[in-house]
Protein backbone atom coordinates (compact mmCIF):
# COMPACT_ATOMS: atom_id res chain seq x y z
CA UNK A 1 0.00 0.00 0.00
CA UNK A 2 1.17 3.51 -0.85
CA UNK A 3 -0.42 6.36 1.14
CA UNK A 4 0.33 9.95 0.12
CA UNK A 5 -0.06 12.77 2.65
CA UNK A 6 2.09 15.62 1.30
CA UNK A 7 0.20 18.31 -0.62
CA UNK A 8 -1.13 18.50 -3.25
CA UNK A 9 -1.91 15.02 -1.92
CA UNK A 10 -4.34 13.85 -4.62
CA UNK A 11 -2.18 14.90 -7.55
CA UNK A 12 1.03 13.74 -5.86
CA UNK A 13 -0.63 10.37 -5.35
CA UNK A 14 -1.74 10.19 -8.99
CA UNK A 15 1.79 11.09 -10.09
CA UNK A 16 3.26 8.35 -7.89
CA UNK A 17 0.71 5.89 -9.27
CA UNK A 18 1.62 6.76 -12.88
CA UNK A 19 5.33 6.55 -12.05
CA UNK A 20 5.05 3.02 -10.67
CA UNK A 21 2.90 1.09 -13.18
CA UNK A 22 3.98 -2.27 -11.74
CA UNK A 23 2.03 -1.48 -8.54
CA UNK A 24 -1.77 -1.88 -8.89
CA UNK A 25 -3.61 1.46 -9.01
CA UNK A 26 -5.88 0.26 -6.20
CA UNK A 27 -2.85 0.14 -3.86
CA UNK A 28 -2.48 3.94 -3.97
CA UNK A 29 -4.51 6.24 -1.75
CA UNK A 30 -4.20 9.76 -0.39
CA UNK A 31 -5.26 11.16 2.93
CA UNK A 32 -8.64 12.90 3.15
CA UNK A 33 -9.32 11.35 6.54
CA UNK A 34 -8.16 14.54 8.26
CA UNK A 35 -10.97 16.43 6.49
CA UNK A 36 -13.36 13.56 7.25
CA UNK A 37 -12.46 13.75 10.96
CA UNK A 38 -12.87 17.53 10.96
CA UNK A 39 -16.33 17.23 9.39
CA UNK A 40 -17.37 14.73 12.06
CA UNK A 41 -16.00 17.02 14.77
CA UNK A 42 -17.93 20.07 13.49
CA UNK A 43 -21.21 18.12 13.53
CA UNK A 44 -20.46 16.68 16.97
CA UNK A 45 -19.69 20.14 18.38
CA UNK A 46 -22.89 21.57 16.97
CA UNK A 47 -25.00 18.77 18.47
CA UNK A 48 -23.12 18.41 21.78
CA UNK A 49 -22.09 14.79 21.17
CA UNK A 50 -18.73 13.08 20.62
CA UNK A 51 -17.17 12.53 17.19
CA UNK A 52 -17.66 8.79 17.67
CA UNK A 53 -21.43 9.42 17.70
CA UNK A 54 -21.25 10.73 14.11
CA UNK A 55 -20.73 8.43 11.13
CA UNK A 56 -20.86 8.34 7.33
CA UNK A 57 -19.83 11.89 6.56
CA UNK A 58 -18.21 12.09 3.13
CA UNK A 59 -15.35 14.12 1.73
CA UNK A 60 -15.70 14.26 -2.06
CA UNK A 61 -12.85 15.28 -4.32
CA UNK A 62 -9.63 17.11 -3.65
CA UNK A 63 -7.80 17.66 -0.36
CA UNK A 64 -8.02 21.41 -0.98
CA UNK A 65 -10.42 24.26 -0.44
CA UNK A 66 -12.68 22.87 -3.19
CA UNK A 67 -13.30 19.61 -1.31
CA UNK A 68 -16.97 18.91 -0.63
CA UNK A 69 -17.80 17.81 2.93
CA UNK A 70 -21.19 16.11 2.55
CA UNK A 71 -23.47 15.04 5.41
CA UNK A 72 -26.50 14.14 3.27
CA UNK A 73 -26.02 10.49 4.22
CA UNK A 74 -24.46 10.99 7.67
CA UNK A 75 -26.00 9.67 10.88
CA UNK A 76 -25.68 10.77 14.48
CA UNK A 77 -26.49 8.90 17.65
CA UNK A 78 -28.80 10.95 19.86
CA UNK A 79 -30.30 9.52 23.05
CA UNK A 80 -29.50 6.01 21.89
CA UNK A 81 -31.12 6.40 18.46
CA UNK A 82 -29.50 6.96 15.07
CA UNK A 83 -30.91 9.87 13.11
CA UNK A 84 -29.89 11.67 9.93
CA UNK A 85 -27.68 14.71 10.52
CA UNK A 86 -29.98 17.00 8.51
CA UNK A 87 -32.94 15.88 10.65
CA UNK A 88 -30.96 16.22 13.87
CA UNK A 89 -29.62 19.71 13.17
CA UNK A 90 -32.58 21.23 11.33
CA UNK A 91 -30.24 23.94 10.06
CA UNK A 92 -29.83 23.52 6.31
CA UNK A 93 -28.30 26.96 5.80
CA UNK A 94 -25.43 26.17 8.23
CA UNK A 95 -24.88 22.72 6.68
CA UNK A 96 -24.78 24.15 3.15
CA UNK A 97 -22.74 27.20 4.11
CA UNK A 98 -20.57 27.72 7.17
CA UNK A 99 -20.08 24.01 7.86
CA UNK A 100 -18.64 23.41 4.39
CA UNK A 101 -16.32 26.44 4.42
CA UNK A 102 -15.13 25.67 7.97
CA UNK A 103 -14.04 22.15 6.98
CA UNK A 104 -12.56 23.36 3.67
CA UNK A 105 -10.46 26.04 5.38
CA UNK A 106 -9.72 24.37 8.71
CA UNK A 107 -6.08 23.63 7.92
CA UNK A 108 -5.36 27.26 7.04
CA UNK A 109 -7.23 28.45 10.16
CA UNK A 110 -5.14 26.18 12.40
CA UNK A 111 -1.89 27.46 10.89
CA UNK A 112 -3.05 31.06 11.27
CA UNK A 113 -4.00 30.54 14.94
CA UNK A 114 -1.05 28.39 16.05
CA UNK A 115 1.63 29.47 13.54
CA UNK A 116 2.11 25.71 13.19
CA UNK A 117 0.47 23.01 11.10
CA UNK A 118 -2.01 20.55 12.58
CA UNK A 119 0.63 17.80 12.61
CA UNK A 120 -0.91 15.76 15.45
CA UNK A 121 -4.36 15.78 13.81
CA UNK A 122 -2.77 14.64 10.55
CA UNK A 123 -0.87 11.89 12.36
CA UNK A 124 -4.11 10.71 13.99
CA UNK A 125 -5.84 10.71 10.58
CA UNK A 126 -3.02 8.66 9.04
CA UNK A 127 -3.40 6.12 11.86
CA UNK A 128 -7.19 5.98 11.23
CA UNK A 129 -6.61 5.54 7.48
CA UNK A 130 -4.08 2.71 7.93
CA UNK A 131 -6.12 1.01 10.68
CA UNK A 132 -9.18 0.86 8.44
CA UNK A 133 -7.18 -0.51 5.50
CA UNK A 134 -5.72 -3.18 7.79
CA UNK A 135 -8.77 -4.13 9.86
CA UNK A 136 -11.63 -2.99 7.62
CA UNK A 137 -14.49 -0.59 8.27
CA UNK A 138 -17.19 -1.43 10.83
CA UNK A 139 -20.44 -2.85 9.50
CA UNK A 140 -22.74 -0.08 8.27
CA UNK A 141 -20.00 2.55 8.22
CA UNK A 142 -17.96 4.13 5.47
CA UNK A 143 -14.96 6.46 5.46
CA UNK A 144 -13.39 8.92 3.01
CA UNK A 145 -10.26 8.14 1.06
CA UNK A 146 -8.59 9.55 -2.03
CA UNK A 147 -8.48 6.72 -4.60
CA UNK A 148 -8.33 6.22 -8.36
CA UNK A 149 -11.65 7.27 -9.88
CA UNK A 150 -11.75 4.65 -12.66
CA UNK A 151 -15.20 3.08 -13.07
CA UNK A 152 -16.79 4.96 -10.15
CA UNK A 153 -20.61 5.11 -10.03
CA UNK A 154 -20.87 8.89 -9.44
CA UNK A 155 -19.96 10.37 -12.83
CA UNK A 156 -16.50 11.52 -11.75
CA UNK A 157 -14.12 11.36 -14.74
CA UNK A 158 -11.72 8.40 -14.82
CA UNK A 159 -7.99 8.77 -14.16
CA UNK A 160 -8.26 11.22 -11.27
CA UNK A 161 -7.24 10.61 -7.68
CA UNK A 162 -10.53 11.65 -6.04
CA UNK A 163 -11.89 11.22 -2.51
CA UNK A 164 -14.89 8.89 -2.29
CA UNK A 165 -16.85 7.18 0.46
CA UNK A 166 -15.48 3.64 0.76
CA UNK A 167 -15.95 0.48 2.75
CA UNK A 168 -12.93 -1.75 3.32
CA UNK A 169 -12.84 -5.49 3.74
CA UNK A 170 -9.88 -7.89 3.47
CA UNK A 171 -7.58 -4.89 2.84
CA UNK A 172 -9.57 -3.99 -0.30
CA UNK A 173 -11.60 -0.78 -0.64
CA UNK A 174 -14.87 -0.52 -2.47
CA UNK A 175 -16.68 2.70 -3.36
CA UNK A 176 -20.07 2.90 -1.62
CA UNK A 177 -22.75 2.63 -4.29
CA UNK A 178 -26.33 3.83 -4.54
CA UNK A 179 -26.04 7.12 -2.65
CA UNK A 180 -28.48 9.76 -3.91
CA UNK A 181 -26.73 12.84 -5.28
CA UNK A 182 -28.85 16.00 -5.32
CA UNK A 183 -28.19 19.04 -7.52
CA UNK A 184 -26.36 20.90 -4.73
CA UNK A 185 -23.97 17.98 -4.24
CA UNK A 186 -23.51 17.42 -7.97
CA UNK A 187 -22.32 20.98 -8.48
CA UNK A 188 -19.82 20.74 -5.60
CA UNK A 189 -18.54 17.32 -6.75
CA UNK A 190 -18.03 18.56 -10.31
CA UNK A 191 -16.21 21.69 -9.15
CA UNK A 192 -13.60 19.74 -7.18
CA UNK A 193 -13.22 17.22 -10.05
CA UNK A 194 -12.52 20.14 -12.42
CA UNK A 195 -9.77 21.41 -10.11
CA UNK A 196 -8.21 17.93 -9.96
CA UNK A 197 -8.27 17.64 -13.76
CA UNK A 198 -6.50 21.02 -14.01
CA UNK A 199 -3.92 20.03 -11.38
CA UNK A 200 -3.27 16.77 -13.21
CA UNK A 201 -2.74 18.58 -16.51
CA UNK A 202 -0.29 21.04 -14.94
CA UNK A 203 1.64 18.30 -13.13
CA UNK A 204 1.93 16.06 -16.18
CA UNK A 205 3.00 18.98 -18.42
CA UNK A 206 5.75 19.74 -15.92
CA UNK A 207 6.82 16.07 -15.71
CA UNK A 208 6.90 15.63 -19.48
CA UNK A 209 9.15 18.69 -19.84
CA UNK A 210 11.46 17.72 -16.95
Full strand arrangement of the beta sheet holding 54-55: 54-55, 75-78, 81-84
Strand stretches in the chain, DSSP E: 2-4, 28-30, 54-55, 58-60, 68-70, 75-78, 81-84, 143-148, 161-169, 172-175
Instruction: Name the DSSP class of 61.
Output: B
List, by residue number, the catalytic residues. Answer: 63
The DSSP string of 63-83 is SSTT-EEE-TT-EEEETTEEE
- CA gap 185, 124 in Å, rounded: 28
User: CA 205, CA 201: separation in Å to the nearest integer?
Assistant: 6
Amino acid sequence: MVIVVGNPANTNCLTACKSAPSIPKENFSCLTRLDHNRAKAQIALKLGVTSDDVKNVIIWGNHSSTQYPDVSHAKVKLQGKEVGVYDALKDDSWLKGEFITTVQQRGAAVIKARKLSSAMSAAKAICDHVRDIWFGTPEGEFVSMGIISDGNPYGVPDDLLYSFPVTIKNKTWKVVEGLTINDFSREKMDLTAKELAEEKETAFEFLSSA
